[in-house]
Amino acid sequence: MKIALLQILPSGGQEENRKKGEQWCRRAKAAGADIALFPEMWNCGYRIPEDTAERDRLAVPADGEFVSSFGRLAKELEMAIGISFLEEYRPSPRNSFRLFDRFGNCALHYAKVHTCDFGEEKVLTAGKDFYVADLDTAEGMVKVGAMICYDREFPESARILMLKGAELVLVPNACPMEINRLSQLRARAFENMIAIATANYPAGQPDCNGHSTLFDGIAYRPVEQEARDTLVLEADEEEGLFTAEVSLAELREYRRVEVHGDAYRRPKRYKILTKNIKKPPFVREDYRN
């Protein structure tokens, strides 16, 4: 299964972004991609105005023309498309992601759970849960989940997706991908035995630097003596289309026999994880439950 990471710069207005997004999806299809993934909040280039009216103006309905156009495009190209956008929502917009399958149907809709409440995302409505969907690709069915940017920094995000059956997690992103954030993705893939594809904005977008990645989640191969890096692809900082493949058959066999994921977990020992108790030094005044 080939995944295309659209590490591209926004063009200004929403219609310009829609047209540019379409052009790059066509390039992804020409490159043989089964899935094309956009960076975070593509419709507005990850812009969250302080002014409420301006923010609401940028937000688009999940079933509106901007988002739906990528559903029609997915059907035309017979390629899944994952589009991230500022979603029109009440009481305030959401940072959302919608995955269209190759037939143009909405396979997955997700709103960012871990909004950055210490920054500009404090005005957004946070999502309530993580979801996994069966995605029909030309290479067969694959169970897909999503995280958005800051979600990656919480092991619980990927863990829940793994427990719900995810084999592949798609991650729209908008931040500087340095060694520690890349290490988080590597860890999430390793500990859950899942593939993780991340599409970031390139250098030129404020606070972003490219380095979109694909981790295949396979740390060991029977024919190899040493552990291997699960990193299949790491893009540079430039704007571009970056593609890499994941072997679903190999990943499934690896998950069937290896020791990570849910194989030897002991949930009865983890009761404290479900308690919402904040103690110093982790108390924050801007924390939203």
List, in sequence order, every residue forming a beta bridge with 141; answer none if it has no partner.
136
Nearest to 230 by CA among 200, 209, 260, 201: 260
* Residue 254 near residue 261, CB atoms below 8 Å: no
Q: What is the DSSP string of 17-78?
A: HHHHHHHHHHHHHHTT-SEEE--TTGGGTS---SSHHHHHHH-B-TTSHHHHHHHHHHHHHT
Continuous segment of H or E residues that includes residue 143: strand 140-146
Note every long-range contact of 262-269, with CB atoms under 8 Å and residues 24 or more positions apart, other chains counting: 262/162, 262/163
149 a catalytic residue: yes
Nearest to 121 by CA among 199, 206, 50, 209: 50
Looking at the chain, the number of H-run helices and the number of E-run strands are 6, 12
Q: Which residue among the candidates 2, 25, 121, 149 is catalytic per the annotation?
A: 149
76 a catalytic residue: no
Continuous segment of H or E residues that includes residue 144: strand 140-146
106 a catalytic residue: no
Q: Which residue among the candidates 112, 143, 167, 208 is catalytic per the annotation?
A: 112
* Residue 46 near residue 174, CB atoms below 8 Å: yes
User: Which residues form the catalytic set?
Assistant: 40, 112, 149
